Structure 1
Amino acid sequence: MDKKLTVIEAAKLLGVSKEAIYNRLRRGSLQSVVEDGVKYIVLTKTSLKESAPLRRNDTSAEHNAYIELLKTQLEEMKHKNEKLEADKERLIADKERMLIESKEKIEMIYKERDEQLKAILSLANRQITQTETPVPPSSFQNTPIPTPPVVHPFEEADVLEEEEIYQETSVCFETYSDWRDLRSYLKEKGFSKKEKQHISDTLSKKASQLNNVMDKNGTLFIKKGKKLKEILGDS
């Protein structure tokens, strides 16, 4: 008696996949009918007998394909593992090389510092030795005594800045409560260097003739409370 089974039922009965059932339908080794929109597989005694060897062949083919797939995946994993091992070895080698280079640099730095320290200590020892070495008195008998250099009294003042000169003169003559240093006055009023020189020269020439101007050892003072215009007007 013929059996009508759905595709899923036929696949379970024959022990194959649905795709295998559809393949057999395309090859014509199985028959099917459609009832109410549903496809049924018609199994007869003859088709059941013929399906037995086909099922073994289909299963064997599926197993072989699965085995081939596993072999391919295993080979790919093997290549990936080899690549990872190579990368690991390369990273280890790079790390060792960096450690060696760092060690050599540190040793070089400390070596240079040690050499510098030795040189400084050696120089310091030589200086101490030279300082502590006594000089025999006889060595001074025929040694001429050096003559101290003659320093002009105005040489140091010539190299001082204007601010320093003002500070020195203001300290020296701060006891003159009624007089003011001309240089500080001109600086406070913001005169240019040329203007200050001109005013100083003018008042210096007529200091002895003016009541509001005093020349003290080459330093000019003006009377407090007097404006420069009034002093110059008197001159």
Structure 2
Amino acid sequence: MCERTKDDFKTVYQRTFTRKIGFRPDKAVYIPDYKDILAGPFTEYVVPDSATQPEHPFENVHHCCERLLTEQPKMKRYLDKEPSPEAIASDHSNRGRTVYMVDYCDLEGGFESAVSRARRRVDLPPNWGEIPVTTQKASYRSPSLLATWDLRPRPCLPRISPLTPNLKEREILKVTTGVSEYEGRIGTLGELILQDELHGTPQDVQCLRFQEMMKIRGGK
């Protein structure tokens, strides 16, 4: 009887898997730099030390001019002169413009190209004849004059619903369903009075309103 070892009962995963042991990391604890979080960062700058003060990022103007004249004595003739107002104005006006606009474009003449500026409208002499038409205008024939039928497609109208009542049919059969008392009696009588002009020619409603307003104002 053969003896079996423990490896015979292991799966392929158990044989090939390399066991790794992990350790739980320590709990992160926040340690503030100052005992008082609010006032701590400002205690170092309450009494500043002049020796530890950082240097100013920009040099003083007077010191810069003195150093410039010491290194370059020829610059004195330029510093004594007043700056040109045209240069200051051009520098101010060129802010926000691209290099192409400043160096290549004619800003005084506008942004119009030189070719389009060269083309100007010229008035023809009074004895000038009719301007000859182009080939396209001379040979153009309107399709609406050539075709007698309607070239434009007509819009597709929706089909009439079978539930829509036929007014002519209702008039012949004298069907009064859905007609109110006002439409059947008072409305019909008013329509007859207006059509036959029994009380004279009807006036415009706006005209009547205007006359009523004038009467009210005159009474006041």
TM band (smaller chain): under 0.3
TM-score (norm 1): 0.20
Which has the larger Rg? Answer: 1
Q: Which has the higher contact order (CA 8 A, sep 6+)?
A: 1
TM-score (norm 2): 0.20
Structure with greater proportional helix content? 1
